[in-house]
Structure 1
Amino acid sequence: MPAIDIPPQKQEQVVCAITAAEKFDIPANIVLAVAEKEGGKPGQWVRNTNGTYDVGPMQFNTSYLNQLAKYGITPEDVASAGCYPYDLAAWRLAVHIKDDKGDLWTKVANYHSRTPYYNGIYKADLMVRANKWADWLDVVLKGGTLEVHQARKTEPAPAQSQQNILTAQYQRPMQMQTATTYIPRKIMVSAD
């Protein structure tokens, strides 16, 4: 397996983003780009002008929390350290990719805003970041397969039924419009 050439403080972010992308069958470079673009930290709450908050490492917007509350998912889950916030963000991205209208990049940028002006700004930056991450994955993969081993931690995890509810909705392959800037990659995830 090739060495991952990233700063130690970013390694968890990369592992969590790639693992979440695999769980929800979405491009890893997109989740990596959103994680980098959002740049949040565990426990962080950022107030938006519309009264909502962006929470945690993936700056998950509180407007989606009502939808998740019925599964027992709390704001603390979204704000927590570890990989679960990345899973929630990847789930949200998968919903946008599956259900929203427009090209792939517009759908992904809906994670930030559906307002065309703000969506366009976010989309342009996200495409640059996603290309950078796709290039990085190409170098790391060197035509092979990157194995991501999730470190076992003693972090609290949401109830298994909550995870199953989210993942069960997206077990089937999604039909996505692909952009010319993305080359699909296979990533193997194993828990060691």
Structure 2
Amino acid sequence: MAEKKTDHRVRYTKMVIKESLLKLLTERSINKVTVTDICREAGINRNTFYTHYANQFELLSTIENDLYEDIKQVGMSTSNPQTLSYELCKYIKANKTICEVLFSEHGDKELLERILYISHDLTIERWKTELKYFDPQLFESWYTFTAHGSIAIIKKWVSSGLKESPSKIAAFIDKATDSVSKAFYSEEL
């Protein structure tokens, strides 16, 4: 029974530490945030912080990896790329605060790219079954182009306050991706 109490306190402490870093990242970059800043914001001492994390960079990495794993679970639950776009946008909207911070200039520049590459293998399998001739090099070029376009759309959506609905943003991403796909399907490059 005492173990449950400890687990709850540890979870609560980690949550407060994470929320404190996210709050500080709305004001400045990770390079300008110190462990002392995080501890002051969280109302904890440095020993408590170091019990859980080596430094502010490990903490940020933990937050990003948690987000990535959550989104990966969403991605693995669907086999349809259009549904994946919608589920990703819905997740971002539901987790607005953390996504606004992590997808901003203060977050990891490659996090959103890693997230969008979750659907990479799924899309390869779909193309292999739908196309008479599958060219892996052509696919990689297409995927890079559409993934980076999707990243730009999502970043713009997040930075403008997520005003549009997830379904509207996902539909736009899907329409843009489908348009590029049709060019690849209809022409031999």
TM class by shorter-chain length? under 0.3
TM-score, with structure 1 as normaliser: 0.25
Larger Rg: 2
**Which has the larger helix fraction?**
2
Query: Normalized per residue, which structure has more strand?
Result: 1
| TM-score normalised by the chain length of structure 2 | 0.26
